[in-house]
Every structure is written in structure tokens, then in C-alpha cells.
Structure 1
Amino acid sequence: MAVRSCTGFYRQEVNRTAWEVPERYRDLKQVGTGAYGTVCSAWDRRTGTQVAIKKLHRPFQSKLFAKRAYRELRLLKHMKHENLIDLFLLYLVMPFMGTDLGKLMKLERLTENRVQFLVYQMLKGLKVTYSSLTDLKPGNLAINPDCELKILDFGLARQADAEMTGYVVTRWYRAPEVILNWMHYTQTVDIWSAGCIMAEMLLGKPLFKGKDHLDQLREIMKITGTPTADFVVKLQSQDAKNYIRSLPKVPKKDLHSIFSKASSNAVFVLEKMLLLDPEQRVSASEALDLPFFSEYRDNEEDTVALPYDQTVDNTDLPLDQWKRHTFTEILTFRPPTDSRETPL
């Protein structure tokens, strides 16, 4: 049931939850829900397009939730890119994509041409992010009928959030240095995740499907081989060093034997992404320069990450201050103009 709310806003109950959104958005229908928020599709009367509206669950019930909400707002405001979701209003309003990569892979086996286009878009999005996401997985990659991809859920995952590293599906795509807290993370944790996702698209099933953290590591090393001595000395934890040194030596597998139906250019991308040593993995920019993506590459395109001030993100503040910072971000937001918009 929908009712008129305060001036300029429209109130509708969706699955026993009240949604209060600007009047331009109508016909709300729930399309997904998770631990941190619910997403509804809606019709934007100004642009004549379908959008998705995300409502965060109890964003200020704790300092951790408040920090996540603040961080997502800041990141979405900061990043302006065709493969990243934008923030338009008080609610998180974004283009409606229809499905995500996880659901799409369950419905059909993807051709290599589609894999090529999807991974290209994923890397373009990663190229302009300022730091690691640490939660890149098929369910966080939205896909529309034109095979256009957008990365979702910035700010909801943080490398220090222990409960997320325990989430089984996330673990399948997490870089080994994140799973076991081996070392300082760099943006190449996302390159590992992208490689796992690309591998799953080509194989039709997850590449590393560990039952727990240690089993995940064993599954990874069956393919990457056990780490070299040069890598072991880089580990911060002495326990991790001792554990790795205790493992039987396993040689690296030839990825061509695993991905026998894929082109050599596709396998070459995986070889550059799925390296145990994060310092040896390609960056997003380097990956985009590989031959596999030459068909889509625009030599004039030179989009890079914009500077992002993490000062507040990395502080430990009381709940009230997170609320204040979030409110400030909302008040200072200026929606992008849309040439399709017409007066109501």
C-alpha cells in the first residue's frame, strides 16, 4: 500500500517495512535482501527508467554498522565511473540491472566472448577504485540484459571485519593473504578475486571451493603450488611461516590443462591474476593491457583512481560522531544532472 508522506516524499510498505522515498520513485518491489540492506526496484518518473533503491538495515545500531554506512556513502560519492554504482539521493538509488553474475552463471554457461566483456568491465571498475574491496564475488557484480556490469556494495566489506572472512561463499574468492591475515593488503587482493570469478565463468563452477580457511588454502596450493622461500619470508606471522614450511612441496599446475577449452589469451590472464604472491600479480591497468582485452581497449582512455582521504574512515569514533559524519555527507551531496530528466 502506498500513501503520500511529507512534502515531496512518498511512503510505501514493502514486505511489512516502510519505505519513504522521493515522489519521483514509484511502484517499489523487493528484489533482494542481505545482512546489511534490502533492495527494491522502482520506476523513476522523471527519467522514465527503472532503478534499484537500497535501504540499509539499522545503519546506526552499532559503531560497526554506522562506520559501514558512512564508508559506503563516501565511496559512492567519490567514485564516478560507468562500472561503479552511483549515489543519487538520501536512499542509495542506482540503475536497475536485473540480475547478478552469480545468478546468471547458475542459469547458463557463458561463452568466452561474454567472459571477455564482463571481466573487461570488472577490471575497468577496479582500475578506478582507490584501494582493495576485499569482498568481490559474483553476487556483488550486477548484470543487465545488455551484459553491462556494475560493482556493488562498496564499504560493506572491510578487511578487518572478521565475520566476513568466515562467510563461506566469500572465502572462495578471497585472496590467500586475506584469508589467513598474512600481510598488508594491496589492491591485488581484488585481482585475485577477479581471477577466481573469471575462472568460474570459464569452468562453470568455482575454482577453489574450500570447506574452511585451511582447506581453502590447500585447494589454492593444489593449483598455485606451495610458496617459494622468497614468499615465505614476506609473511608477517611466524605461525604462518612455520605452517607453510611444514607443508609437502606441491608443484604449480599448468592452467592450460584445467582450462583446456579456453583460448591461450584467456588462460594467460588467469596466470597473471592467480599468483600466490600478491606482489607478482598484475594490477587492473596491467591486466587491461593484456591481449585478451585488445578488442575492447580504448587507447585514449586513461581513467585512474582519484585521490581519496581515508583519515576519517580509519578512525575509531563513537556512534554519535559516525551519525554526524554520515549526515554531513548526505547534506553535501549534489546529484549528477541527467539530460533525460523532465519536469513532473
Structure 2
Amino acid sequence: MATESESVGGASATTEEGESSSGRGQIGNGGSYYKHSINGTVFVLPSKYSAPLRHLGRGAYGFVCSAVNSETKEKVAIKKISNAFNNRIDAKKTLREIKLLVHMDHENVIAIKDVVRPRHKEAFEDVYIVYERMDVDLSRIIHSKHPLTENHFQYLLYQILRGLKYIHSGDILHLDLKPSNLLVNSDCLLKIADFGLARTVSETEFMSEFVVTQWYRAPELMLSFSDFTTAIDVWSVGCIFAEMVTRAPLFPAKDYSDQLPIIFELIGSPDEESTGFLRCERARRHALGLNRRPRQNFSDKFPNMKPEAVDLLEKMLVFDPRKRITVQEALCHPYISHLHDDTDEPVCSQPLTFGFENQFLSEEELKELVWRESVRFNPDPAS
């Protein structure tokens, strides 16, 4: 199938599916922009992001393509967030992701390279965020025929936890950890990506229980527990760890209502004590009222896992978030302790807080803040 696009200047072109067709035109800000159509999604980008662009996938609230920065020769990934300012929630998510990535600097966290400056300040609706380019996501590795060894499991798991240690030290919760949001290079370097659903702990605005992708969602999110903690991310890591080893999703429920029962089939139904963290009596009754299930023996369920790996997995998949292992404790666990080194696991110098988090800002005010971020990356030339 071919794709088609019109340039800003009116020309058109077609290419094979997965690549872009593009045209060129002069569009403000003192530079030229290309208009690309990639699998039906139009990207309007500065000419420095050279064609051909290729479709990479879809992340939280955006389509992603690959490109090359012709000025720096870097391979990059560009996420388009369409109609980013349709409502306050989406606008705030966009601003938050930019702010978080600008402030973070860690080997296991994806780096932001640019926020494309829009052609016109008043009229722009789409936001383009440019990231460093990685080779593949962990989901593709897991579900490929590429052999994975114990060393792979340990090193990949260690890097996820090392990155989370940094993220959590800044009072940031990722809230959407899953294999497709973990990017890996050919040298097995892993980076945590897609902060479109992340939160700072300081945010007090209501947060939906539907933040984490269903199969990796901690039980407390399905029980409307509103006090989000770092334990949510740890549960997701446990699901990912098991998926790496078995090469199949751990809790592939067919729908939302089936998610808790399928979790309880493995970890067993909770008792009165373990539901004590739930403030909502209705949620407690729901958790206790589901068909009772005994806890499975993890060693029998995962016969190919080393005993130390089984023990770590059990500690991650604990129903009560107060009793779930922390990232720091997991890094010290015997399964990966040979990789652990406190002196080589940097943390944020101080928790991150943003003034906009607890202010009521309109869509236009949030748009202005995103504009300022794009100008910071792409200032006007000196007169």
C-alpha cells in the first residue's frame, strides 16, 4: 500500500507503506518544514529531520516515527501528540511529560532531544516531542525467537530497577510500565520511555484507575485506591519480569472485570488483613467477595526460574502495596545483588515539583507553557 501527502508548497509524492511521502515549503520561524504522511498520520517537521521517516508505533497519546537529525547526524524518534490542547487533562499530560524528561538525566531513562517549535504560536494544536532513538522495545525481544539467558534476565531487570530508583527518588511515578515502554539497544542497554501517564507525587488532581495498561496494573488500581505509591510501578516490573522468563504475559485478562480474578488465581485471594490499606469499604468487600482462590506454588508455576528469581518475583507480586518489595530492596536481592552498586546508581538531587501541577490552568495557559518549552529548545536567532 502506498501513502500520499501534499507538501506545504502543493507538491505531492507517494512511497511504500511505512515510509513517509513529503514535500517542502517555507513556513515561518526562519526555516523550512516538510509535511510527511506516515501510515495515514501527517507529521509537519523542520527540514533538519530528514526523510525517509518510518512508522515505529504508538505510545501513550501519540504516534511515533523514526528520523535522522541531519544537523547532528543522530537517529531520533518523534512522537506526535495530536490535538494536544483539546482539554486540560491532555494538555497537562503533554506539558508534564516534557517537563519530566527535561529535568531527568539518567542512563536508563530515555533522553528528550527536542520539542519541535510550531510554525505559528497562535494556531498550533499538535505537539512533536523528539527523543533519542533505540533499536527495539522489550516486547519485540520477548516475543521473538531470540534466545534469552539468565544473564539477560538479570541485566535487563537490574536496569529497569536502576532507572526506577532514579525516577522514584525524584518523587515521580511512571504508572505505565510495560514491555513496549522499555527500549533496548543491541548492546542490551535498556531505557525507560513513554512518560505520557507519569505523575509527580505532588499532584493532587484526581487520577484515573485506568493509568497502567490493564495486564500490568496493580490490584490497588482496580480497587479505586487513590493514594498512588511507587509500589504500583514495582507490581508492573514483576509482571514484566515473569513475561521475560516465560515469554508470555502473566495476567492476560480478556477484560477489566476478569483482571482481579486472574491475578488471584496466582497469588491467592486476599484476607481481611491484606485489604486493610483500602479505605473504601465497598472496594474491600469486592476484593473479599470474589470467588476464593488458593495461592499457587510459584516454584511449580515457574519451573524454569532459579529459586532466587522466584523469591524476588513473589516479593514483587504482593497484593498489599505496603508489603510489596521496594525498588531499593529489589536491587539488593540475591538474584541481582552482584550487579548492584550504590555508587553507580544515581538519584535525583531533589524531588521534582512543578508549579503548574496544583494550579488550575486553562488549555490556553498550558499551551503557552508548552510553547515556551519549544522556544527553549529552538530560540530565535540572535539579532
User: TM-score when scaled to structure 2?
Assistant: 0.79
Once the two structures are superposed, the pairs formed by residues 284-303 of structure 1 within 5 Å of their partners are 284-303=327-346
User: What SS does the aligned partner of 2:279 have?
Assistant: coil
CA contact (8 A) 1:69 1:156 kept: no
Q: Does 1:146 align with 2:187?
A: yes
- The answer (yes or no) to whether the contact 2:162–2:345 under 8 Å persists in 1 is no
Aligned counterpart in structure 2 of residue 11 of structure 1, from 14, 34, 37: 34
1:332 CA drift (Å): 4.3
What CA distance in whole angstroms lies between the structure 2 residues aligned with 1:320 and 1:46? 32
Helix, strand or coil at the partner of 1:128: helix
Q: Can you list the C-alpha shifts for 1:249-303, whole angstroms capped at 9, x where unaligned?
A: 4333221111111111211220221111111112212211112223322342241
1:299–1:105: structure 2 CA closer, same or farther, 3 Å change rule?
same
Higher helix share: 1
* Matches of 1:75 and 1:59, distance apart in 2: 17
- Alpha-carbon distance in 2 for matches of 1:22, 1:215: 48
Instruction: Check 1:266–1:47 CA distance in 2 against 1; reply closer, same or farther (3 A cut).
Output: farther
Aligned to 2:100: 75
Counterparts of 1:178-257 in structure 2, within 5 Å, are 178-257=221-300
Q: Which structure ranks higher in relative contact order (CA pairs < 8 Å, sequence separation ≥ 6)?
A: 1
User: Are 1:312 and 2:356 counterparts?
Assistant: yes
- Kept in 2: contact 1:226–1:250 (CA 8 A): yes
My pick for the range that moved more, 235-244 or 172-181, is 235-244
Q: How does 1:123-162 map to 2 (within 5 A)?
A: 123-129=161-167, 130-156=171-197, 160-161=207-208
Over 3 Å counting, the alpha-carbon distance change for 1:307 and 1:34 in structure 2 is closer
1:28-53 deviations in Å (ceiling 9; x for gaps): 22222356222221123344332212
Residue 6 of structure 2: aligned partner? none
| Match status 1:103 vs 2:126 | no
Give identity over the alignment, percent. 37
- Structure number with higher strand proportion: 2
The aligned runs of 1:76-91 (5 Å cut-off) are 76-91=101-116
- Does structure 2 retain, via aligned residues, the 8 Å contact 1:171–1:179? no
**Residue number in structure 1 paired with 2:123:** none
Question: Is contact 2:266–2:295 with CA below 8 Å preserved after alignment?
Answer: yes
Quote how far apart the aligned CAs of 1:200 are. 0.8
CA contact (8 A) 2:60 2:197 kept: no
Instruction: Work out the CA distance in 1 between the residues paired with 2:32 and 2:235.
Output: 43
The verdict on how the C-alpha distance between 1:163 and 1:106 changes in structure 2, with shifts beyond 3 A counting, is same
> Offset at 1:119?
1.1
Moved more, 307-316 or 218-227: 307-316
Instruction: Give the drift of 1:217.
Output: 0.8
Task: Give the number of equivalent residue pairs.
Answer: 331
Q: Deviations over 1:154-208 (max 9, x none)?
A: 133568245556xxxx111010001221351201100000000000111111111
Q: Partners in 1 of 2:153 and 2:377 — Cα distance?
A: 35
| Alignment equivalent of 1:63, drawn from 85, 88, 100 | 88
2:233 maps to a residue whose letter is: D
Tell me the C-alpha RMSD between the 2 structures: 2.5
SS of the residue 1:278 aligns to: coil
Change (3 A) 1:226 1:42: same
Residue identity matched to 2:264: M
Contact 1:98 1:142 in 2 (8 A): yes
TM-score normalized by the length of structure 1 = 0.87
- Where does structure 2 lack aligned partners over 5 or more consecutive residues? 1-21, 117-128, 200-205
**In structure 2, what is the equivalent of residue 119 of structure 1?**
157
Give the match for residue 322 of structure 1.
Answer: 366
Q: CA deviation at 1:329?
A: 3.3
Unaligned ranges ≥5, structure 1: 336-344
Q: Deviations over 1:237-260 (max 9, x none)?
A: 111122233345433322111111
Partner of 1:274: 317
Q: Given the superposition, is the C-alpha separation of residues 278 and 197 from structure 1 closer, same or farther in structure 2, using an over 3 Å criterion?
A: same
Residue 225 of structure 2 contacts residue 278 of structure 2 at CA under 8 Å; is this kept in 1?
yes
1:338 corresponds to which residue?
none
For the pair shown, which has the larger CA radius of gyration, 1 or 2?
A: 2
CA contact (8 A) 2:224 2:283 kept: no
CA contact (8 A) 1:24 1:44 kept: yes
SS in 2 for 1:329: helix
